[in-house]
Amino acid sequence: MPISILMPALSPTMTEGTLAKWLKKEGDAVKSGEAIAEIETDKATMEMEAADDGVLGKILVPAGTSGVKVNAPIALLLEEGEDKSALAKAAAPAAAPQKPAAPKPASFDSRAPHPEPVEGKARAAQDEASKMKAGRVVASPLAKRLAKEANVDLARVAGSGPHGRIVRRDIEAVAAGKLPMLAPAQVPTGVKAPPIDVSMPFTEVPNSTFRKAVARRLSESKRDIPHFYLSIDCELDALLKLRADLNARAPKDGEGAYKLSVNDFVVRATALALRKVPAANATWTDAAIRLYRNVDISVAVATPLGLITPVIRRADAKGLAEISREMKALAEKARAGKLTPAEYEGGGFTISNLGMYGIKSFSAIINPPQSCILAVGAGEQRPVVKNGALAIATVMTCTLSVDHRSVDGAVGAEFLAAFKPMIEDPTTMLL
């Protein structure tokens, strides 16, 4: 009876994939462990290896087919001694494979027994067989061939495929110098690694596409951008008094209604400071430093999905009331997941305010491709010296994170020197 070759699950989150290419054609002999197809997952293109020896009798899913469900039959393999007449018996498709359940957050309790699924045991056995054939190095046939051509020692390559298997992208990354080879002391030996400690209960929350994108961008920012940090303390008493006066006079209903927050003053002061120090409103590129003509400010907003930064366009040309109304509308849309790309893409400078959570001060990661982000802490009463005497004032610490490639320390200091007086004497922002 022909063996059904099923669409494999090449990642823990994979439920379907694209059969990008067949590496064998009908009638070709197939050996166990030999690559027979290339599968595109949501993360990468990976090779699929045969689990049994035989002849590729019939291809059920042609190359280039997308949306192929995991465990769906994609081909039939003739066993030794079988001829094509056996395919007729298998032509009638069996019951459709059960659609794999979508991944759900799973609570783990170390006190309960957790038997390994039969499918997991079969896969582990297949992986173990591959290890026995390849020694201590587990690599796909294509990876082995590329390693030989590039003169790469497989024993010193860290595999990124399933169960640590070395795949094509690993060899290409090493050959291109993007992935360092393991030092001799890091090369795995025959000694088994200690078991992973699973004594702590946990709950897994699958990463959304949005969360993955945020993680990727911030990792690239912290890794590739040379950050430096400048902090300044600003007294808030005059600002808080003016805010209370303006809010008391503000219309409470209708389109013109508004209620000013401290963050609205921070946005306004930042915009005017950038107009005075345009060199801080910049982006680094390998060819040139781009200085933005418009003052478009991104403001970090926490949402159930993660952090997003809607943009207030031409903030330097808007008054406090307009900034307040626009920021409130953008924040509501952000939390509802209804922002359009035009409302969150772009921006030349970011503000991140954690003062409402009681955070005194912090250093934020730059929002690429921008060059600066201002981290705003909570206003709190602190002892200060005024006219040679000790006094109490409400003080807010602001920390500027700067890309040193495009903005020098002096420019960052000039920006904060322009920002601080407007916060401490907010009437200057009303002119």
Point out the residues that are catalytic.
404
What is the β-pairing status of strands 3-6 and 73-78?
antiparallel
**The two structure tokens encoding residue 382:** 């602190």
Select from 72, 36, 402 the least CA-distant residue to 225: 402
**The two structure tokens encoding residue 428:** 């200057």
Q: CA 73, 78, 82, 88 torsion: positive or negative?
A: positive
Select from 328, 338, 368, 333 the least CA-distant residue to 350: 368
DSSP 217-229: HHHHHHHHS-EEE
The neighbouring-strand residues paired with 37 are 22, 48
Dist CA 412 CA 195 (whole Å): 49
Q: Taking the CB of residue 216, how many other CB atoms lie within 10 A of it? A: 10
Dist CA 81 CA 282 (whole Å): 71
Select from 230, 253, 225, 215 the least CA-distant residue to 399: 230
Longest dimension (CA), the chain: 102
Phi, psi dihedrals of residue 8, rounded to the nearest 5° = -80, 160
The H or E element that residue 78 is part of is: strand 73-78
| 320, 341 contact by CB (below 8 A) | no
Dist CA 14 CA 100 (whole Å): 9
Up-side HSE of residue 250: CA atoms within 13 Å toward CB? 22
**The two structure tokens encoding residue 274:** 């950038």
Q: CA 42, 46, 49, 51 torsion: positive or negative?
A: negative
Residues 6 or more apart whose CB falls under 8 angstroms from that of 320 comprise 246, 260, 264, 265, 268, 429, 430
Select from 69, 66, 85, 78 the least CA-distant residue to 24: 78
Dist CA 364 CA 370 (whole Å): 13
